[in-house]
Chain A
Amino acid sequence: MPEAKSNRRLMEGSEAIAEAAIAAGCRFFTGYPMTPFTEVLENFARRLPDVGGHCINAESELEAIGQAWGAAATGFRAATGSTGQGLALMQESMSEITRAEIPIVIFNMSRGQSDYYQATRGGGHGDYRHIVLAPQSVGEAVELVQLAFHLSDHWRHPVLIYGDYLLAHTCEAVAIERRDYGALPPKDWAVDGSLGGTGRSRNLNPIGMEKGSKGIDPSAFWQKLWEKEQRIEAAEQRFEVEDADDAEMLIVAFGTLARFARASIAQLRAEGLKVGLFRPISLWPFPSEALARAAKGCRLVACLEQNAGQMIDDVRLALNGSHPVVPIGGISTDAASFGIGPLLDSERIASRARDAHQGRPVSRGVVA
């Protein structure tokens, strides 16, 4: 049966991301252009006015995150984004927004995978983490972008989408349909200006300051935030496991790079090497227990990431010494540093994985 002719349309990732966000009810976007994030901004700028929303061409990333902060504080679904470089400028505000418990979605169309630490370790000052979702394809991005808005509202917590050049600039046939992820609590915390003079006016405050009282109660404030992050950590681990049942070696890879890993694994399996894939979809919370389970019957775990070795820390923490963990990724770049390097090649990855599987040293020099 051919699939019913439907809403599927060939769409670039950046357009699909904007369309998915708008389908999820996002009505405010702001950003400062930077490759490979630029086209995400362009698509929001083109489409948001059609649906009664606002898109601001921010003068800098500092202003972009501030504008998104204000829009999100009013209870509307709002988003911003950049590359890792731009997100570096936004971190101070992102930290404050987290403590003020304002839901917001932030897109990191990163240059490769070198922003893993920035994305998963909080990134700014203070003690917090963000939910981070890393789609492997345009189709999955359409789902995860909508999930991001849902989780953000559900937890009153920022959610990051970790994408890259490939995700933003690859075309896939996708259908943009609003997904229902369930009921959400009313946004009675949002500032709409209505409660002045009632004695119940709101203060969306990142330092725990309450109305009508002098000073703050830091212990109650931090306890509440800390407990919430622990609940998120328990509830929101997402992952995918493939070919792990008989695997001698598991490759851990996230985002678009996982698709190259999958192609390599098919090649290795054709050669008779029993290799499986573990793909974290949520980078924070990292799916630690699931990885430990998936690795049970394996001899070793190989970590494939396009950086000097960042996620490997989480892989090692998850396995807690139960398996040797061999890095098979590395720094790989194009001349413009957009993250389109020679490592994005299933032959090259297969060769490194083969070496790891056979116990040979893996060549991991910078490839450019």
Chain B
Amino acid sequence: MSDERSSDDRLRVIQTDAPPDAPSRKTGDFEPALTLMGEHDLCPGCGEPVALRQILDAIDGMNLGQKTIGVIGIGCYTALTSLMDIDLIQALHGRAPSVATGAKRMRPDCLVFTLQGDGDMVNEGLQEVIHTAARGESVTCILLNNGVFGETGGHMTATTVLGQRTKNTIEGRDAKRDGYPILISEMLAQLEGTAYVARASVHDAKGVARARRFLDRAFASQMKGQGFSFVEILTMCPTGWFLPTAQGPSYLDEELGAVHEVGEIKKDGVLIEKAKR
């Protein structure tokens, strides 16, 4: 994995040979920008709030908080939208890329992004994300992929990996009976209209930092008018995977991550060879 990092993104080395230039803070001492603090309904061990925090921080980091429209799909993350302090349109399953298209055409100066799950985007709305990408719409679609319909209680989606147990593939997804998972990032990267395509995973700190970096680049690509940008973020769903919470990150990395491989797939409209990702 050859991650090309901008200087801002590097994990900083903490100097211990001199007093710190600012006093230490506890997490309770500050609130992240663009986040309304409050309770939410998501399960322990869920990866979606981790991904969402990166999205909001990336927007804030580019100073686009007051120039952003988010279009939200339907999934567990929908419950978090009440805590997102940006202008939002709540869409339906699958429809978000089309809704984002309409919004971006009329508000071309805004950063317009969608937030969708795999059951939303890859099942119900597959044609809409493909057409939006093929049109080269200047929007960023963000997929939170956990390979399962979490909100309904753990059912198979189009990205569920072979062998993965869900409520309707109780012995594990079997290619003969249930078909194969769709690798949506690789698929979208083939289209001329896509400028930036990358897949990250929030199973560990490095993965979270990588997700943030990919989001930064996708948003920058949109603001430069390069075309359609896409970031897939693999997220943990121990509840929907029927696993103990603590096993979520390793399952994500070893099972889903083995099929949906992380890395940048397309940059500045140019496909990156698999060996160089």
Contact = CB atoms under 8 A, between A and B. Distances in A.
Interface of A: 27-28, 30, 54, 56, 58-60, 62-74, 76, 78, 92-93, 96, 100, 191-199, 201-207, 209-215
Contacts, number: 170
A56 B101 contact: yes
Question: How many interface residues does chain B have, given as a range?
Answer: 35 or more
Contacts of A69: 89, 91, 95, 98-99, 102
B86 A196 contact: yes
Contacts of B96: 66
A202 B41 CA distance: 21
B271 interface: no
B98 A67 contact: yes
Contact of A191 (B34, B97, B103): B103
Given A62-B128, A191-B89, A214 B39 contact: yes
B69 A193 contact: yes
Q: Which 8 A-B pairs have the closest CB atoms?
A: A66-B98, A70-B102, A71-B102, A196-B86, A70-B99, A70-B103, A196-B65, A193-B110
A76 B127 CA distance: 26
Contacts of B40: 214
B86 A74 contact: no
A211 to B, nearest CB: 6
A54 B105 CA distance: 7
Point out which of B97, B103, B110, B131 has the most chain A C-beta atoms below 10 A from its C-beta: B103
B81 to A, nearest CB: 6
Contacts of B111: 193
Given A63-B131, A70-B101, A193 B67 contact: yes
A100 B85 contact: no
Contacts of A92: 92
A41 to B, nearest CB: 16
Nearest to B85: A201
Contacts of B33: 197
Nearest to B100: A70
Contacts of B218: none
B66 A93 contact: no
A214 B82 contact: yes
A56 B103 contact: no
A70 B88 contact: no
7 contacts: A67-B98, A69-B91, A69-B99, A74-B102, A92-B92, A203-B89, A214-B39
A197 B32 CA distance: 10
Contact of B82 (A72, A194, A212): A212
B96 to A, nearest CB: 8
A278 B211 CA distance: 64
A194 B87 contact: yes
B90 interface: yes
B36 interface: yes
A209 B82 contact: yes
A228 to B, nearest CB: 19
Point out which of B41, B66, B106 has the most chain A C-beta atoms below 10 A from its C-beta: B106
B234 interface: no
Point out which of B81, B89, B128 has the most chain A C-beta atoms below 10 A from its C-beta: B89
B177 to A, nearest CB: 28
A212 B67 CA distance: 20
A218 to B, nearest CB: 14
Given A66-B91, A68-B102, A213-B82, A74 B69 contact: yes
Contacts of B206: none
B59 interface: yes
Nearest to B111: A193
Point out which of A58, A100, A191 has the most chain B C-beta atoms below 10 A from its C-beta: A191
Contacts of A78: 102, 106
Given A71-B106, A203-B88, A204-B90, 13 more contacts: A56-B105, A62-B98, A66-B96, A69-B95, A72-B102, A191-B69, A192-B107, A193-B87, A193-B110, A195-B66, A202-B87, A210-B82, A212-B36
A192 B67 CA distance: 7
A203 B64 CA distance: 17
Contacts of A64: 98
B71 interface: yes
A188 B69 CA distance: 15
